[in-house]
Amino acid sequence: MAVETSEPGFPRIEIRKELVDLLDSDRVLHTPEELLVYECDGLTLHSRMPDFVVFPSSTHEVLEIVRLARRHGIPFLARGAGTSLSGGTIAAEGGIVLELSRMNEILQIDLENRLAQVQPGVVNQHVTRAVEADEFYYAPDPSSQVASTIGGNVAENAGGPHTLKYGVTTNHVLALEVVLPDGEVYRLGTAAGDPVGFDLVGTFVGSEGTLGIATEATVRLLHAAPAVKTLLAVYDSVSEATQTVSGIIARGIVPAALEMIDRNTIQAIEAGVYASGIPQDAAAVLLIEVDGLEAGIDQQLEEILEVIRSRQVREVRVAASADERKKLWAARKNAFGAYGRISPNYYTMDGVIPRSKLPEVLGRIESLGREYGLRMANVFHAGDGNLHPIILYDIAREDAREKVMALAGAILRCCIDVGGTLSGEHGIGLEKREFMRLFFSEADLQVMERLKQVFNPDNLANPQKIFPMRRGCGEMSSLSEDSRDRLSRFEEDPEFVRF
């Protein structure tokens, strides 16, 4: 049995009793064995066990837990499926994790006004399933949509393959009910979707849990396009594939999706259950989808095919049925899970670059992988330049973590150097907070931190996320000696990014 101890300023036993009184013992986890599964998220190179994991089932219970945390000065954060890829749901300072999986009801569907009101634990894909019989759908479609929840999508401003045409989560959230760190419930935005005054919904979406917890979301529903065409183009050259991407956009065509998959990813996919018959020796493939009215879609497809044929393409396949289209998308959507077939471990990155820089940056990433002695793979949203370089590694190697983080830093610097940014959809979290100084000025960061303090003055809501650590602040005490040394070196020399 685990032995409980009380820490100075942290009455653990008292807090546990209050949580049990509020919820019941079955909905309060506190032993190391119970908490172990919550020590990390999809980003496996960072971990920290929380002190408690609780399972509220209503906004009222979330509110009471936040008030309890505020009384005791204990950190708290919300968690859904734990699919975050930036360390967003890791309890960096311990504290209380509010696991919102039991708040999973679709509260209202209003097809006349094209909206749905949902709780944060509703799985992304389940929103579309609830309305697809009426030919509606929810547009944001991260690759994790079969598991990731709306609350997490709101926190990270999740995207997906169809971001190119339809935008990310913030473009589809009309209103929110939120519990803020002051222990009150607020409603932000309106179902009408047109913000009056400050756009507080836009401020909250993508704030990574540092401003509070969303307990309801009113989201926009779209009517399914009457016609959809999906095609796959196979290339023997990454350069030819990337130049095709630029050529399509230069024509003024905006596909619903324009994805690229490289050779290592193809081999991983074809070794798994979602094999699509893609040639394993291909250098890259493009997965392209267009949608719209029946009257114009064939012309749009023909223009894309003209661009493809103007490059050195090996093969082009146009899905002839809904089943063929589904099979092509299954390969893309399950790419991340397939990497386990070609590598013991992998690290997923997220950066954005101008489309015109794709050939240069992909070549640089490949060179960096060789420099650090690590294999690379790529599967990404080519249409909007949102890269997802995959670092393949073996954690059993003594120097694996250091090499992976060093390579990740070099790749992020490369993205920034060509005019890109740090994240397209995964957020900053723990993973990239120290790199914020490479992109934002000190004045920029101070403005953002002052905004956070308006909502979260005591820094109890998901601390240590997004913003770089600062010398002398209370958060420094929770860093390891090695982390403090790296931070000191970074502050003395911003060029030092080998984390």
State residue 118's pLDDT score: 98
State residue 9's pLDDT score: 56
> For the sheet containing 28-29, what is the strand order?
28-29, 52-54, 96-99, 76-79
User: 403-437 burial by CB neighbour count: b if 16+ within 10 A, else e?
Assistant: bbbbbbbbbbebbbeeebebbbbbbbbbbbbbbbb
- Give the CATH fold of the 226-340 domain: Alpha-Beta Plaits (3.30.70)
- Give the CATH fold of the 106-223 domain: 3.30.465
Q: Does domain 12-99 have CATH number 3.30.43.10?
A: yes
State residue 390's pLDDT score: 96
What is the C-alpha separation between 291 and 135, in angstroms, rounded? 14
State residue 2's pLDDT score: 37
Domains in the chain: boundaries: 12-99, 106-223, 226-340, 433-492
State residue 491's pLDDT score: 45
State residue 499's pLDDT score: 28
Low-confidence residues in the chain, pLDDT < 50: 1-8, 472-499
Contact predicate 15/72, CB 8 Å: yes
Integer angstrom CA distances of residue 409 from 84, 389, 432, 473: 19, 12, 9, 24
pTM, two decimals, is 0.90
**Strand partners for 217:** 118, 176
State residue 474's pLDDT score: 41
State residue 471's pLDDT score: 52
